[in-house]
Amino acid sequence: KKEDQITQLNNEEKPPVVLNNEDNWRIAIDAMHNTVKKTTGTAHRAFKGATYDPAGKTGTAQVVSIDQGERYDADALKERQRDNAIYVGFAPYNNPQIVVSIVVENTGGGSSVGAPIARQLMDYYFAANPIQSSGSKVP
C-alpha cells in the first residue's frame, strides 16, 4: 500500500515565502484587533478599560491527548500534563510600540492566564512610555 511506503524527498532548498499582499496582513491584524475589541473576543475581558488600543491572539496548547468524546479535566491530570496558556499581542493597534509573547506552562488557557499577564506588561510599559491616546477604550 502506498500509505505504508516511505517516500524519499530531495533536499532541495525551497525559496522563502514572501507575504507582500497588504490585504493578507490587514486580515490577520484586524482579526487580532477583534479578539480584544469585540465583546465576543477571547481577550476582551483581559483588556477591558485599557487606555491604549491593543490587538492580540489567545491560544491554548494541549500537552497530552484525551480520547475522542472525553472531557478535559485539568484537576484529574498531573500538573505537568495540563494545557499551556499562550498570548501574543501588540499595542497600539495602528502604531505598535510594544509586542509581547506569553507562554505559561501547565496553567490553562490563553484567555484566562496569558492575556491578563500581557495586559499587566502593557499597562506597565505605557505607564512609563505614554502614547497619545485616541481616547478610545475597550468597551
**Sheet with 98-104: strands ordered across:** 55-61, 84-91, 98-104
* pLDDT tens-place string over residues 31-74: 999 999 999 999 999 999 999 999 999 987 666 666 678 776 66
Read off the pTM.
Answer: 0.72
Instruction: Read off the C-alpha cell for 12.
Output: 532541495
Cβ count near 133 (within 10 Å): 13
Q: Residue ranges of the domains in the chain?
A: 19-128
Which candidate, 22, 24, 38, 54, places its Cα nearest to that of 120?
54
CATH number attached to the domain at 19-128: 3.40.710.10
